[in-house]
Amino acid sequence: MEINWLAEAEKRKDDLLKDLEGLLRIASVQDLTTSTPEYPMGEKIGEALDYVLALAQNEGFKTKNLDGFAGFAEWGESEDYIGVLAHVDVVPAPGEWTSPPYEPTIREGKLYARGAIDDKGPGMAAFYALKILKDLGLPLKRKIRLIYGTDEESGMRCMKHYLEVEPAPTYDFSPDNEFPMVYAEKGQINVKLTLSGSEEEQQGTILVNFSSGDRGNMVPGQATAEIKTNQPEELMDRFKTYCKEQGLRGEVSKSDETITLTLYGKTVHGMEPQNGVNAGLECLHFLHTLSFAGSDQSFIAFAENCLYRDPFGEKLGIQYREDVLGPLTVNAGIFNYNHTDGGSIQLNIRIPLNNDYQHTIDRITKKAESCHFTIADVWHFSTHYIPADHPMIKTLQSAYQSITGDEPTLLTSGGATYASLLKNAVAYGALFPGKVDSSHQIDEFIEIEDLIKATAIYAKALYELSHL
């Protein structure tokens, strides 16, 4: 029978928005201080996982919670299955939002909240897509399983745990990127560099504390430097002049001989650091014009000489590009420093196909050691690539084209989704071509019309994949 998938999605619009708003109200940022055996990623992420599984159970889907790391909801009967991988965790929501980040608000056809596009909105679209198949009583040759992770933004331990205790899907997509489809994703190298503090008493200007960023996969939008100096007024004037000349917003306060500088940048996803303004690096660039010594100088010098305004790794000597995924990128996402205790810088490096991993690590190690840093921790993901003529890709392209009427051009991405962990998986929506990607940014949103259209695409795609 001929099914009007868009009409079916539209019928469920009010319920979809109601259920999505409930999920968006949960501030499901990883907080290991509230970790328990039941909620390994923290209380709020556990609450979000419980929420989606309860929705699924009320709908009549079979559900299972996998030790708090992940959960799934499925419909149909078969040994193998089609998977949809979404995540309920979100990145923090710093900065000044037009409306509070965990109070979902609709303005001019857009739903604003942290997680609206990354990834709660697309995940709810997939849930309602499966609900459409169930409501219509459509026969499935393969069952369909909605898999919900809890740690996508901080290392994907959730999906690694899932694959340890459950069989992998036959075919799979993650609604966590762009339409028409991302068939190749960059890999990642995440490096934490550490520096010892200064033990001896130091005269002159001292960098007491410095901090910027709280997620490696975000360009930090704010930096704070606490400085002890015997020339506070001069330092304050120089900082104000610097901000004005650079077109940056900054604030300054004074307490006795201590000056606190706050500088604001532009937060974007760490996969495209060239599109943001790294507050940490901009602030350290200013500090480089002052006279510091010891570990203070080493911390500042490494940022200046190896990272400042260099999103492609040329100063580190790790620049590389190829035709499918483009250039390697470097995001300095987290800075922490204390004059006495020392500090660290965390790098999130996105790597294209055929990048020499060991060469990259060796070059970073050499540069770090030249500034008295050491590598404390390294972990990485490999690049991900599915051939363009794969039958799953053809099926997903067909579903997209039939709903939108648009050419289903294949895309690549610097972001790593759950798809990178599976053999037959791609990222499939939910951001449409030409639309603003507000993931990880202030005033994150999803267009409601696009949310409904994505639901229709997912419904048709899941039905056809189940018969592939």
**Cβ atoms within 10 Å of 71's Cβ, excluding its own:** 23
Please list the active-site residues: 89, 152
Q: Looking at residues 226-253, what average pLDDT do you find?
A: 94
What is the per-residue pLDDT across 81-106, written as a single tens digit (0 to 9) for each? 999 999 999 999 988 999 999 999 99
Q: How confident is the model at residue 417, as a pLDDT?
A: 84
**pTM as predicted:** 0.76
Task: Evaluate if residue 139 carries a pLDDT over 70.
Answer: yes
**Cβ atoms within 10 Å of 35's Cβ, excluding its own:** 16
Task: Evaluate if residue 202 carries a pLDDT over 70.
Answer: no
Q: Report the candidate in 420, 443, 417 with the shortest Cα–Cα distance to residue 430.
A: 417
- Across the chain, what does the average pLDDT equal? 94
Check: CB of residue 224 under 8 Å from CB of residue 400. Answer: no
- Structural tokens at position 463: 């039905």
Q: How confident is the model at residue 423, as a pLDDT?
A: 87
Task: Evaluate if residue 200 carries a pLDDT over 70.
Answer: no
Q: What is the CATH number of domain 188-381?
A: 3.30.70.360
What percent of the chain is modeled with pLDDT above 90? 85
DSSP conformation letters of 43-77: HHHHHHHHHHHHHHHHHT-EEEEETTTEEEEEES-
SS3 152: helix
- Amino acid symbol at 148: Y
Quote the CA–CA distance of 384 and 419 in Å, as a whole number. Answer: 8
What is the per-residue pLDDT across 382-404, written as a single tens digit (0 to 9) for each? 899 998 999 999 999 999 999 99
Q: Report the candidate in 261, 318, 267, 264 with the shortest Cα–Cα distance to residue 287.
A: 261
Quote the CA–CA distance of 443 and 460 in Å, as a whole number. Answer: 31
Q: Looking at residues 211-225, what average pLDDT do you find?
A: 94
Rounded to whole angstroms, the maximal C-alpha distance in the chain is: 82
User: Who contacts 316 (Cβ-Cβ below 8 Å, separation ≥6)?
Assistant: 306, 307, 310, 330, 363, 364, 367
Q: How confident is the model at residue 8, as a pLDDT?
A: 98
* Domain assignments of the chain as residue spans, ordered by start: 5-185+384-465, 188-381
Task: Evaluate if residue 69 carries a pLDDT over 80.
Answer: yes
Q: Looking at residues 228-240, what average pLDDT do you find?
A: 91
Q: How confident is the model at residue 344, as a pLDDT?
A: 97
- Structural tokens at position 231: 């020339």
Q: Where are the alpha helices (DSSP H) in 291-425?
A: 294-306, 357-370, 391-404
Dihedral of the alpha carbons of 371, 328, 417, 382, in degrees to the nearest 10: -80
Check: CB of residue 193 under 8 Å from CB of residue 374. Answer: yes
Task: Evaluate if residue 198 carries a pLDDT over 80.
Answer: no
For residue 180, say if its preceding peptide bond is cis, omega within 30 degrees of 0. Answer: yes
SS3 187: strand
Q: Looking at residues 148-154, what average pLDDT do you find?
A: 93
Task: Evaluate if residue 199 carries a pLDDT over 80.
Answer: no
> Which homologous superfamily does the CATH classification assign to the domain defined by 5-185+384-465?
Zn peptidases (3.40.630.10)
- According to DSSP, residue 432 is labeled P
Q: Are strands 445-447 and 110-112 parallel, antiparallel or unpaired?
A: antiparallel
